Structure 1
């Protein structure tokens, strides 16, 4: 009986170690762009929502350059000398997406009402120092296309992204812009943010969020890591249970 308790204690400790190391120090920064070619009088043609680790910290109107700081995280941005440069980059990205919209809009658009383009740029920094980035894009909240900049792979997740993929995959200027902003500037922003934010991220609760433009997608490497850890944990559990049962059975035979 004592051996069984020791084994179970070992199992609990092992699981704690495994799951406590699933990137507690990993962080990601996302900017969600919504491009509306036919905005109403009181609506922006381009709106950007910034979030870090699923916590929204600001919204930005590309046209008026108006910024709404939505949490203490956002208030910290005001004190950063690099923020003005970031707003220029966000505006340039909005301009690019607006220019591209006529060429990437699906030919067969049957939905009623105007079509809006959404794009989500995400860069992340893992606890092991690895960094990467990806872009998601779609229409009217429907994710259509995913571009992983780490391996240069395009994934079409909805037929509406076919024209978008064909256009951007063969447009060197657009590709270079996406890489420059996400693999260069976004990662630099995230590192600068974390200097001010790391303690706040561990203690602050998520603020009330605006509905995401394109549904957030966790970094693929994080999902793979979690799956591997779950499979490993299950294997360990089954192995220990089998070992305990085997030992008890052998003990019974010896006593008999």
Structure 2
């Protein structure tokens, strides 16, 4: 089964600078029993699959990892965003005991991963989803737009039963992804478009590709003519 966020991202890898689906993702990892040198919660922000920041929930430390990250930290709404994302980490930690699989046979501690993705398609339509799993195993999907929960692994059974019937949790996930995330995406796109236009004006890639394509087209047209002339010359000679 192809999940919409992954499909959206796959399409975005073959992008035209001005006509493609922008996506914004946050990847959360919650560890109820972290080692001394490990955070109990951390999340990573990705814009169009490129990491732009990481955040340690316990220490409240942010690392900006790209030019987009540097732009983001100057945005007036960023403080509100960090509060919302921190609340998400708190909620996941709070819910973890109730959604952990009953038979946990994996070696080592169990960690909960969550990935929130919101995106805008080329036609302007927007959507969002959540993916949840344990120790890297995808277990549960939540379609934020229609509110559907889909279990993709048996470890997600308790999680689905708990959250599907918990209106507060479901509404939180939907509001953050369809509301907050979409709002952040619109703000981030201002930075993205500026960067893309700057990059497009500096690079010589597209003209070279066009010239190469034109040359190939010209060669494929002229080769039959040259071949024909050669054959006629041979036979006449």
SS of corresponding position for 2:123: coil
Q: State the 1:201 CA deviation.
A: 4.8
Give the match for residue 165 of structure 1. Answer: 160
Question: In structure 1, how many angstroms separate the alpha carbons of the residues matched to 2:127 and 2:62?
Answer: 27
- Indicate yes or no: 2:53 matched with 1:58: yes
Q: CA deviation at 1:25?
A: 2.8
Partner residue in 2 for 1:27? 22
Structure 2 counterpart of 1:38 = 33
Structure 2: distance between partners of 1:66 and 1:148 = 30
Q: Structure 1 residues 97, 201: closer, same or farther in 2, change over 3 A?
A: farther
- CA displacement 1:129-182 (0-9 Å, x = unmatched): 100100000000110000111222211111100000000000011011111100
Sort the Cα spacing of 1:63 and 1:151 in 2 relative to 1 into closer, same or farther, 3 A.
same
Distance 1:80 1:107, change over 3 A: same
* C-alpha distance in 2 between matches for 1:93 and 1:166: 20
Offset at 1:122? 0.5
SS at match of 1:186: helix
Compute the displacement of 1:20 (Å).
7.7
Residue 113, structure 1, aligned to residue 97, structure 2: no
Question: C-alpha separation between the residues in 1 aligned to 2:147 and 2:184?
Answer: 22
**4+ long deviations beyond 3 Å:** 201-204
- Give matches, 1:1-256, under 5 Å: 24-201=19-196, 203=199
Give the Å deviation of 1:24.
2.9
5+ residue gaps, structure 1, are 1-18, 205-256
Which consecutive residues of structure 2, in runs of 5 or more, have no partner in the other structure?
Answer: 1-13, 201-237
Q: Deviations over 1:4-52 (max 9, x none)?
A: xxxxxxxxxxxxxxx988x933101000000011111111100000001
Separation in structure 2 between the aligned mates of residue 166 and residue 148 of structure 1, nearest angstrom: 16
SS state of the match for residue 122, structure 1? strand
Distance change in 2, residues 1:173/1:20 (3 Å): closer
Measured on the aligned residues, the alpha-carbon RMSD in Å equals: 1.7
**TM-score (ref. length: structure 2):** 0.75
- CA displacement at 1:200 relative to structure 2: 2.3
Is the 2:145–2:174 Cα contact (8 Å) retained in structure 1? no
